[in-house]
Structure 1
Amino acid sequence: MQTPSDHVPAVLDGPGVAVSDPKDLLLGYLHWYRQALMRKIDGLSDEQLRTPVQPLGWSPLGLVKHLGWVERRWMRWGFAAEDVLAYPPGGDEGEWSLPTNQSAAEVLDDYRAEVMRTQALVAEASLADPARTGGRFRTPEDAPTLGRIMFHLLQEYARHVGQLDIARELIDGQTGE
């Protein structure tokens, strides 16, 4: 039985325990979840990456593709109001599915490019900065701050990486952190 004097400090995921700046915390946790996403697909064969996991109905690579679109929608189209395609042709089906001619490397490269664009946009901004209008948000009253958008991205990653834990266990029995 542990006593208070036997207290062992908890190991935390995400940024270091000394990090307290809200922007650094958000960036640190997003970075951790992006790395967790890659850890959870590491070692899967191309077939395992591409095959929808039942009963979930999506593949691990389809989830990566979806998260790339999420980054694009919320940061490029949303926060920066860039004139970009926000949804793929075919809607949700197109966002989660993988054409046979689209390689795993292409999906991962597309995802990494969206993450790099997000990082560039965030580096130049404050959490209090509102999203620009003209893209996803039409009026200043509809435009959330970067902080609100980043919290949304964080919850997307937390939810989906947790779902990927379940998918990976169904695929090959491997469990995550």
Structure 2
Amino acid sequence: MTDRPTGDALPREHADLLETLAKHRGFLRQTCQGLTDEQAAQRTTVSALCLGGLIKHVSGVEQRWLRFATGGADAMRSDPVDWEGQFRMVEGETLAGLLDGYAEVAARTDAFVAAAPDLDAAHPLPEAPWFEPGAAWSVRRVLLHVVAETAQHAGHADIIRESLDGAKTMG
């Protein structure tokens, strides 16, 4: 491939992936509209999930998978993960700050996808019990995973918000 097109001239697959990801990010962000930090940190179900924690988690997941897509398993593991803390708001975190951070991650992902010359480029997955040994994921597969993760958690967020104050994003 020669020069990469930009904007509306993106290849159809790139544009479709970005559009789908934007739609599910939008659902997730919309679920948090009008909430206080206290509401965003509140658990409303038997789950440990809260809306702020979901934003934090999805942002971290997207960021880690973008590092994988650009640099492989070592890049993905370059920052430690607080496996429990990623699902809750901790002292000093605000919903606005978490949403701003998520927007920054989304902008970096979108820029990467827009500039990606080859969605078939792949890296071996990190060793983990949930990955097939020796498997590799392409940039395309990473993006599909991020879309699925975002969509799944947007649904969780909708349930939490409805339990919080009766508001529905997708219902």
Query: For this structure pair, what is the TM-score category when the shorter chain's length is used for normalisation?
Result: 0.7 to 0.9
> How many angstroms does 1:48 deviate by?
0.6
Q: Choose from 6, 25, 35 the match for 2:26.
A: 35
Query: 2:119: which partner in 1?
Result: 127
For the Cα contact (< 8 Å) 1:71–1:153, is it kept in 2?
yes
User: C-alpha distance in 2, partners of 1:164/1:83?
Assistant: 26
Query: 1:8: which partner in 2?
Result: none
RCO higher in structure (CA 8 A, sep ≥6): 2
Query: 1:162: which partner in 2?
Result: 155
Query: 1:73: which partner in 2?
Result: 64
How far does the alpha carbon of each residue in 1:31-83 deviate from its partner, in whole angstroms, 9 at most, with x for none? 1111111111101122111112221221100000000111111111x111247
For the Cα contact (< 8 Å) 1:128–1:146, is it kept in 2?
yes
Based on CA coordinates, which of the two structures has the bigger radius of gyration? 1
Which stretch shifts more, 94-103 or 78-87? 78-87
What 5-or-longer segments of structure 1 have no aligned partner? 1-19
TM-score normalised per structure 1:
0.75
User: C-alpha distance in 1, partners of 2:63/2:80?
Assistant: 9
For the Cα contact (< 8 Å) 1:56–1:167, is it kept in 2?
no
For the Cα contact (< 8 Å) 1:69–1:87, is it kept in 2?
no
CA RMSD of aligned residues (A): 2.2
- Tell me the SS of whatever aligns to 1:144: strand
Distance 1:97 1:87, change over 3 A: farther
User: C-alpha distance in 1, partners of 2:158/2:93?
Assistant: 24
Matches within 5 A, 1:98-177: 98-125=89-116, 126-131=118-123, 137=126, 142-177=135-170
Q: What percent of counterpart residues are identical? A: 30
TM-score normalised per structure 2:
0.78
User: C-alpha distance in 2, partners of 1:148/1:42?
Assistant: 31
Structure 2 letter corresponding to 1:56: S
> How many angstroms does 1:87 deviate by?
3.7
Number of residue pairs matched by the alignment: 150
